Amino acid sequence: MITAGIDVGSKNIKAVVLRDGRIAGEAVGSGGFEQLARATELLKQAVRAAGCATADLAHITATGAGRTAVAFAHSTVTGVTAGARAANHLFPGARTVVEVGAEESRAVKTDGAGRVLDSAVNEKCAAGSGSFTESMARALGMTLEEFAVRSTQSTARIPMNAQCTVFAESEVVNLIHSGVDPKDIARAVHDAIASRVAAMVRRVKLEGEVVLLGGMAHNPGFVKCLKENLEVETLLIPDRPELADALGAALVAADRAGAAPGGRP
């Protein structure tokens, strides 16, 4: 069976084509204002990469903040459910799922089989998501990659007072002017967001192994700080953490296609 999941974030759109439980094709691109047109285009790319046709898709499920814009999807699923489904598909038995994307972060407790037991979400304040890091890297005049790596080299712990992206930009500029080492500022920024994410994990109660999903899982500065804040040795991170929600949606699509013979509800 072939299904597709499409994750429409406010920044990027990701499409995954799933064949018999494995990723057969994928596509990632910016969203922008024309969400439906971009989603259509990216799904086509993913289908091409999988070597099949759109007509072969038994079921398409959309997720993400812009999921309702995807008119061609057969169904939708929340990001929380999609992420949990993907996490336990990749890491069966894991109970705690943390997902940090560009504009949203969440902590989910699952039953180990992909079902959501509890969740805590931050989706409306930019300081709780990856965009906070991007803004601060910009204020320091660094690329995201450089910003992340420099953070891991810091051994000093300086506090950040501002809890808002707009105010934190000014604070970072002040820190630069007062001669604080940029790597220490980078670490303070990653520590600030990691402590906010860790607080959400406390709300669902950390249990067993922790899976980290979302684009921020690529950021070694954040990963290091999150481990410290959660007081864990390891975080389980898949190869393509940014595709997790799209994968989860494709898995949900397969469940739904299986439940409805013919796939088209």
Partner 1 sequence: MMMAPRQEYWRWAEGSWADPDRHWKDARVVTLGIDVGSVSSEAVVCLDGELYAFSTVRTAAGSVESAENAMKGVFERTGLRFDDIHYVVGTGYGRVNLPFAHKAITEIACHGRGANYMGGPSVRTILDMGGQDCKAIRVDERGKVTNFLMNDKCAAGTGRGMEVIADLLEVPIEELGPRSFDIDEEPAAVSDVCVVFAKSEAMARLKDGWSKNKVIAAYCRAMAERVAALLQRVGVEPEFFITGGISKNIGVVRRIEEIIGVKALPTPYDTQIAGALGAALFAHALYLKARGKPQAA
Partner 2 sequence: MIAHYGYQDAEGEFFITIDTDRCGRCDGKPCVAACPRGVFTVEEDPYGDTVVAVDDRRRKRLRYECAGCKPAGDRPSLPCVRACPWGAMTHSW
Interface ranges with partner 1 (CB under 8 A): 10, 33, 103, 124-126, 131, 135, 163-167, 178
Report in angstroms how near the CB of residue 107 gets to partner 2 at its nearest: 8
Considering only 163, 170, 208, 265, the residue that binds partner 2 (CB under 8 A) is 163
Maximum CA extent, the chain: 66
Whole-Å CA distances, 215 to 84, 118, 178: 16, 22, 32
When the beta carbons of 231 and 239 are compared against partner 2, the nearer one is 231
Q: Give the helix ranges, DSSP H, for 91-236.
A: 130-140, 144-152, 165-177, 182-204, 220-230
The number of CA neighbours under 13 Å toward the Cβ of 100 is: 30
CA angle centred on 70, ends 69 and 74, rounded to 5°:
130
Please tell me whether residue 232 binds partner 2 under the rule CB under 8 A.
no
Please tell me whether residue 203 binds partner 2 under the rule CB under 8 A.
yes
CA angle centred on 199, ends 237 and 246, rounded to 5°:
40
Query: Which amino acid is located at 167 in the chain?
Result: F
When the beta carbons of 117 and 149 are compared against partner 2, the nearer one is 117
When the beta carbons of 103 and 242 are compared against partner 1, the nearer one is 103
Please tell me whether residue 122 binds partner 2 under the rule CB under 8 A.
yes
Report in angstroms how near the CB of residue 138 gets to partner 1 at its nearest: 12
Q: How far apart are CA 80 and CA 116, in angstroms?
A: 8
Using CB distances below 5 to 8 A depending on partner kind, what does residue 31 bind out of partner 2, partner 1, none?
none
Report in angstroms how near the CB of residue 179 gets to partner 1 at its nearest: 12
